[in-house]
Amino acid sequence: MKPVAIPWIGKYSSALTLMRVPFSVYLMPVYWFALSVAGGYTWWRAVAVFLILHVFVYPASNGYNSYHDRDEGSIGGLRQPPRVTQELYHLVLLFDALALLFSFFLSPIFALAVALYLLVSKAYSHRGVRLKKYPVISTLVVTVFQGAFTFLMVQVGVDLDIQQILQPTNSWFALVSTLFLCGSYPLTQIYQHHEDAERGDKTLSLLLGIRGTFVFSGIALGLGAALLIGLYLMLGQIYNVLVFLLCTAPITYYFLNWVRRSWQDPGEVNFENTMRMNKISSLCISLAFFLILLLRFVRIN
């Protein structure tokens, strides 16, 4: 007896691919950073916040962006994205609802922050608003909300004491996360100039050009690293400086080498090299902050 085909399963499976759940792994650095500078939270809450953000919130934003962009070329995490269908919109709504529901169980304030993040991410992509087509506004929105806002949102989610969250030093750390996003965000757009221009999205990378994007990103990443190292030194955390420099050395090497190759051959600015840069930077920075978190735990105990 032949198995009965169920068409809607295939449609939802294809739509789930566009949610790019595995790609959320590369959005971990801000999460680990927020935990590494904080203390006094329970691990079960930290795990819950991680799952809410990386399994529901980020994929919902990815899916909504894909629903409105309807990319035919490569996108972050997918070299050949499947065709967009209405099932993708259904999954986005489901993930939104689950993210808000689980967030509310942790904290109403955390749920409110998650709701605001989801709304802003929709304004970024929605055809009627489309913040994405404004280079400066979209950069500010992405770098602030995926950077400092998410940094503070994580700390709210783990129920960190409000006095800790509002400390001036913590605010400077939040700024570091925005500077890192400011450096990495244009690099994610650098290979999509043609498609973005055809769609009418004048991204920051398109505005700056390829060489300008590399220069801008290098300056932003350098400022973020300098501020972070300065804060660690001010707090007497020399080991944190060493861990950060050691773990991020591969990022510096790859970035400078990629810039050199791209200066000689514009063909080096492609999907593969962009995703490789994204993977190296995300995983190395996540490793740095995770190790710093472990060092903090060892010192406390």
Q: Is the pLDDT of residue 158 over 90?
A: yes
**Residue 218: exposed, middle, or buried by beta-carbon count in 10 A (0-12, 13-18, 19+)?**
middle
| pLDDT the model gives residue 195 | 76
| pLDDT the model gives residue 38 | 87
| pLDDT the model gives residue 167 | 93
- 268: confidence class by pLDDT, cuts 50, 70, 90: very high
- Tell me how many degrees the CA angle 170-56-121 measures, rounded to the nearest 5: 70
| pLDDT tens, position by position, 23-74 | 788 889 999 999 999 888 889 999 999 999 999 999 998 888 877 766 665 5
Identify any residues that bridge with 78 across adjacent strands, giving them in sequence order.
Answer: 75
Mean pLDDT of the chain: 87
| pLDDT tens, position by position, 77-114 | 566 666 767 888 888 899 999 999 999 999 999 999 99
Q: Is the pLDDT of residue 192 over 80?
A: yes
Q: Residue 144 to residues 108, 117, 147, 168: CA-CA distances in angstroms?
A: 22, 10, 5, 17
Which residue, 286, 28, 37, 46, is CA-closest to 171? 37
More confident residue, 252 or 271: 252
| pLDDT the model gives residue 75 | 61
Taking the whole predicted model, whether its pTM rises above 0.85 is answered as: yes
Q: Is the pLDDT of residue 155 over 60?
A: yes
| pLDDT the model gives residue 49 | 97
Q: Are 269 and 191 in contact (CB under 8 A)?
A: yes
Q: Is the pLDDT of residue 2 over 50?
A: no
